[in-house]
Amino acid sequence: MLQYQAVWEQGVHIDNILFEKIHYQLYSINDFYVEVHYDAISNKIIGKLAFKQGEHLDKYLGDLPEI
């Protein structure tokens, strides 16, 4: 539970994706990201994933406008 507490207290919410009734909440903490998986039907957090880059981050970049 301490890891989730760090996300809520130190993390900055970046984005949210809804896919198959699961909310994927992206937070930034220092030099890495945390994705929290929330099931809206059961009203429970069902997992988390920490990463710095790669395919997990790429799915959030699709909505950015081209420059």
Burial letters for 7-39: b for 16+ Cβ neighbours within 10 Å, e otherwise?
beeebeeeeeeeeeeeebbbbeeeeebbbbebe
What's the confidence (pLDDT) of residue 58? 83
Evaluate whether residue 31 is within a structural domain. Answer: yes
What's the confidence (pLDDT) of residue 29? 93
Give the pair of three-digit tokens for residue 36.
Answer: 């929290």
According to DSSP, the residues that pair with 49 across neighbouring strands are: 35
Residue span of the structural domain in which 57 resides: 2-61
**CATH number, domain containing residue 29:** 3.30.67.30
- What's the rounded Cα separation, in Å, for the pair 2 and 18? 25
Domain total of the chain: 1
Q: Is the pLDDT confidence value at 67 over 70?
A: no
Task: Count Cα atoms within 13 angstroms, Cβ side, for 67.
Answer: 1
Tell me: the pLDDT tens digits for 8-58? Answer: 899 999 999 998 899 999 999 988 999 999 998 999 999 999 998 878 888
Evaluate whether residue 67 is within a structural domain. Answer: no
pLDDT-derived band at 6, boundaries 50, 70, 90: confident
Please tell me the pTM assigned to this model. Answer: 0.81
